[in-house]
Amino acid sequence: MGRVLLAFVMAAALLIGTACAESGTPDADSEFWISGITDELFERIQGKSFKEDCTLSREDLRYLHVLHVDLDGKTHTGEMIVNYHIAEDVLEILRQLYEAKYPIEKIRLVDEYGADDELSMEDNNSSSFNFRFISHTTMVSKHGLGLAVDINTLYNPYTKTVDGERIVEPITGEPYLDREADFPYKIDHDDLCFRLFTEHGFEWGGDWEDRKDYQHFEIPTALIEEWYPSNQ
Ligand SMILES: [Zn+2]
């Protein structure tokens, strides 16, 4: 390359770089990454999502640093902790959602809500890992294993009818149980989020018969039994 041309290319690159910085458009390649659970991060989750009786090791978990776009098209930084088995898949899904400008309001660690699922869901937060056993069993739940992901939780609530009484989580998600209605963040079979998660092998809670969990994508039980045979 001639010296003049090289100088021109360098000047152009510098200009492009400046333009990006000024418009505040982050470089996606450097913003989507995975790390282990560092000591600093562990301090943030210990006793919260990583509870005292947590049967997983830190090595089972990965931290995802991502970008996401809200309804107004504004870019935000997101953080999520998932199981190492699905870290690459979830990073790829969130990156594709970001590139498609699919709106996700918040992707924060549930620890910012004191690991309280209800508070996190009422705030429309999207998250994955939160250690817990399935009630009255010694089995760790799929969120407890970091093998389920919830997206735009307020607008895609969980519901189940027990003894004729309808349970809704979050409680403030009740208006969004009408899945025929049109509202932002709604996940259905035409939705990009649904398509990407199911392409990556996840099942959607909106397809369940005995209950509906419209926010929820999880790894099938058969695969989890292979990865964690002692979890029963
Ligand atoms: Zn869920």
Closest CA to 119 of 188, 173, 43: 173
Confirm whether 4 is domain-assigned.
no
Respond yes or no on whether the N-terminal peptide bond of residue 170 is cis (omega within 30° of 0): yes
**CA 128 to centroid of ligand 1, rounded, Å:** 7
Q: Which residues surround ligand 1, an ion (CB under 5 A)?
A: 148, 150, 216
* Per-residue model confidence (pLDDT) at position 59: 97
Does residue 151 form part of some domain? yes
Q: Does any domain span residue 7?
A: no
The more confidently predicted of residues 61 and 24 is 61
* 201 Cα: distance to centroid of ligand 1 (angstroms): 16
Q: Region 202-213: what's the mean pLDDT?
A: 97
Residue 147 belongs to a domain: yes
Q: Is residue 65 part of a domain?
A: yes
pLDDT tens for 29-80 read: 899 999 999 999 999 999 999 999 999 999 999 999 999 999 999 999 999 9
Ligand 1 center to residue 155 CA distance, Å?
A: 13
Ligand 1 centroid, distance to 76 Cα (angstroms) = 22
Query: In total, how many domains does the chain have?
Result: 1
The pLDDT value given to residue 28: 83
DSSP alpha helix (H) spans, 123-168: none
Q: Measured between alpha carbons, how far is 110 from 124 in angstroms, rounded to an integer? A: 11
What sign does the dihedral 195-196-197-200 (CA atoms) show?
Answer: positive
Would residue 21 count as lying in a domain?
A: no
Express as a percent the part of the chain with pLDDT over 70: 89
Residue 219 lies in a domain: yes
Please give the model's pTM, rounded to 2 decimal places: 0.88
CA of 56 to the centre of ligand 1 (A): 18
Q: How far is the CA of 40 from the centre of ligand 1 (A)?
A: 26
- Which pLDDT value is given to residue 22? 44
| Full residue range of the structural domain in which residue 175 is found | 26-227
Contacts for 162 with CB less than 8 Å, ≥ 6 apart: none
Higher pLDDT, 7 or 68: 68
pLDDT (0 to 100) of residue 25: 63
Helices and strands in the chain: count of H runs, count of E runs: 7, 9
Q: Determine the distance separating the centroid of ligand 1 and the alpha carbon of 117, expressed in angstroms.
A: 9
Q: Mind listing the pLDDT tens digit for each residue in 155-207?
A: 999 999 999 999 999 999 999 999 999 999 999 999 999 999 999 999 999 99
Q: Is residue 141 part of a domain?
A: yes
Could you give the strand order of the β-sheet that contains 158-162, starting from the edge strand earlier in sequence? 165-169, 158-162, 212-213
